[in-house]
Amino acid sequence: MNKVIIPNGCDAVVARYGEQVIKEYSGNPFIEALPSILSTEEAIEKMAIYAEYNPKERMLDKHYRIHLVQRLFQCFQPLWIHLDLESRISRVIRQGYLARNPFRPGYAQGLQEGHRNIKGLQSELSNNSVFRTTAAGFTIIGVSGMGKTTAINRILSLYPQVIVHKDYNGTNFSMYQLAWLKLDCPFDSSLRGLALEFFRKVDDLLGTEYHKKFGLGRKTINDMLVIMSQIARNTGLGVLVIDEIQHLSKAKSGGDQKMLNFFVTLVNTIGVPVVLVGTPAGLSILQSEFRQARRGSGQGDMIWDRLKNNQNWELLINALWGYQWTRKQIPLTDDFKNILYEESQGIIDIAVKLYAMSQIEAIMTGKEGITPESISQVASKHLQLVKPMIQALKSGDISKIAKFEDISTVDVDFLGFMDRERASIDLQMRMEAIKRTQKKKEQEMSISIKEKAILKLIELDFEPTEVQKVVEEVTEKEANLDINELVVKTIQGISASTKRNKKRKKEESFVENDIRILVVEGRKENKTAYEVLGNGGFIKSYECDFGKTG
C-alpha cells in the first residue's frame, strides 16, 4: 500500500482499484478504492488485538509486573456486536457512495450547485433534488463502559482515512477521498462547536483552511450546514461518525427541538451516512422523531446493551484470562466467570479493570494468586463509586437503572488504585531499596565498563562464559578499575584459571590419598616425608605391631 504525505495534512494512501463482486459497486472509484468486503472470519482476524505475553514475565519482580498488568487494556476481543457493527459500517459507506459516482454527470452538477449555495449562503437546505442521496445512517445507543468508542475506532481503522486518486482506468482523476470522519462532542457542548470541529478535522487531514475561511464571523447553524454539506461532497466523504452525543448541552444548542432539527437536516442534506453514538439519556430526544426521519434506511438503530452471562461473556473472559502476571497461574473456572459477571454486571470496562485490580492486589500483598473471594473483596473496596449502578443493574428495576444511564465507568479510578498500591509496599522493603540505591549508583559506572571489557575480550577470541565469570570476580575485588586495567586483570585471571584447571586435571590422575601429593603438601609446611607418612598412618610404629600382649 503506497503512501503519500499531504502538504500540511496527514499520511494518505494511493488508490488501488479492486474488482467488485457486487455489480452496482463496479465502475465507482470511491467504492473500488476501499478495502475488500470482509467475511466474518476475516473481520475477526483484522479486528482482534491480543497483547504481548510471555509466561516468564510472571517471575519478574512485583514493581515490573504491576506495569505489565496494564497490557490487559490493549486487548480487543471481537464479539457478535462488533461483527454486526463492522458489517453495518461496511454497508453504509458503500451504499452512501452509490449516488455519488464522480464519473456520472449528476455528481459534477451537485458540486456546482453546492458551490453556488456557499457563495450565496442559501439556507433552503431541503432543496437537494439534483444531488440524490443513498445515504443510510443509524444510531448506536448504549451504556457507558461497553467499548462503543473503542469498537468504532477499531472498525474505522480498517479503512484508510484519506485516499489519493490520480488516474482511474486511464482517465485523469485527481482527488482526495475522505473515507471516514469521526467527531467527538466539542468542548463547548454546542452545535456550533460541533460544526467548527468538523472544519478543524478536515483541515488537519487535508491541509485545507475551512476553519479559517468559514469558522469565523457570525454564521448561523444553517449557514454552517450548507458549508459542511459541500465539503462532504468535495472530499467524497464516506461516513460521518459523531460520538458522545449525550454531552451536547440542550441549553447551548437551543433546546431539544433545535438539536433534533440539526441532526435531521444534517442527515437529509449532507448526502453521506451519519452515525450518531451516545448513551440512552443523550439520545432520548432523537429516538422517536429521528428514527422517523430515517425510516426506510434499512439499517435500524443498534442497542448496545451490557453483556449477558452467556457465550459472549465466556468468550471475553477466556480471551482475558491467559494474561496473568501473578506467580501462581490460576485456571479459569465457572466460579471466576460468575463472580466477574456478578461484580461488573456485564459491563466490559468494569470487568477488565476489576480483573486487573485483583491481579495487582494479589501481587502487592504477596498472595500471588486470585480467588473468587479476592475479586469480591477488591470490588467492594475499589468500585464504591459505581456500586449504586451495579446494584441497580442487579435489581433489574427499570426506574432504578434509568437514574444511572449516564454514569461513567471512568469513576473506576484505576490509576489512583495503582498509585495507592505502589505506596503500600512494605516500609522495610523501601528502606532496603534506599540502601541499595547508593550501591547501584556506585556500580553504574562499573556496569558500563564491565560491558565494554567483556566485548573487547570476546573480540580477542576469549570464551564469552569464562570472560563474564572472571570479569565479575575481578570487579567484586576491585571496583575502581578503568577498562584497560580490567581487561588486563581479566586476562590474568583467565590465565590463572586455565593453569588451575590443568593442575586440577593432573591431580585428578592420582588416586585418593596419593602419598606423592601428601609429601608435596608436607614440604610446604617444612615437614619431612617420614613425618608426613607417619602422621598419615602409612608408617606403623613398633608398638603397634609388637608391643601388644595377650
Q: Render 322-369 in DSSP notation, one character per residue.
A: T---SSS-PPP-HHHHHHHHHHHTT-HHHHHHHHHHHHHHHHHHT--S
Write down the pLDDT at residue 498.
73
Inter-CA distances, 170 with 2, 104, 173, 174, Å: 19, 16, 9, 12
C-alpha cell at 289: 422523531
> In the Cβ-directed half-sphere of 339, how many Cα atoms lie within 13 Å?
19
C-alpha cell at 305: 446493551
Residue pair 116/95 in contact by the 8 Å Cβ criterion: no
131 Ramachandran zone, left/alpha/beta (phi>0; psi -120 to 50): beta
Closest to 18 in 3D by CA, of 3, 43, 35: 35
Give the burial string for 462-474 (b: 16+ CB within 10 Å, else e).
Answer: beeeebbebbeeb
Phi/psi at 172 (5° precision): -60, 125
How far is 21 from 334, CA to CA, in rounded Å? 45
Give domain 3-33+79-304's CATH architecture.
3-Layer(aba) Sandwich (3.40)
Which residues of the chain does CATH 3.40.50.300 include? 3-33+79-304
C-alpha cell at 123: 439556507
Beta partners for 168? 171
Residue pair 69/360 in contact by the 8 Å Cβ criterion: yes
Write down the pLDDT at residue 63.
84
C-alpha cell at 285: 430526544
Q: Which CATH class is domain 445-502?
A: mainly alpha
Which residues of the chain does CATH 1.10.8 include? 445-502
300 Ramachandran zone, left/alpha/beta (phi>0; psi -120 to 50): left
Write down the pLDDT at residue 367.
92
Query: What torsion do the CA atoms of 279, 283, 285, 287 make, to the nearest 10 degrees?
Result: -110
Q: What is the mean pLDDT of each run of 10 residues along the chain (550 residues)?
A: 82 92 94 94 90 87 88 90 91 90 72 56 47 67 84 95 92 92 81 89 93 84 86 91 77 64 74 83 55 51 85 90 93 95 91 94 92 93 82 73 55 54 48 47 54 76 80 84 87 80 56 59 69 61 45
Phi/psi at 274 (5° precision): -120, 125
pTM for the whole structure? 0.69
Closest to 159 in 3D by CA, of 237, 234, 103: 237
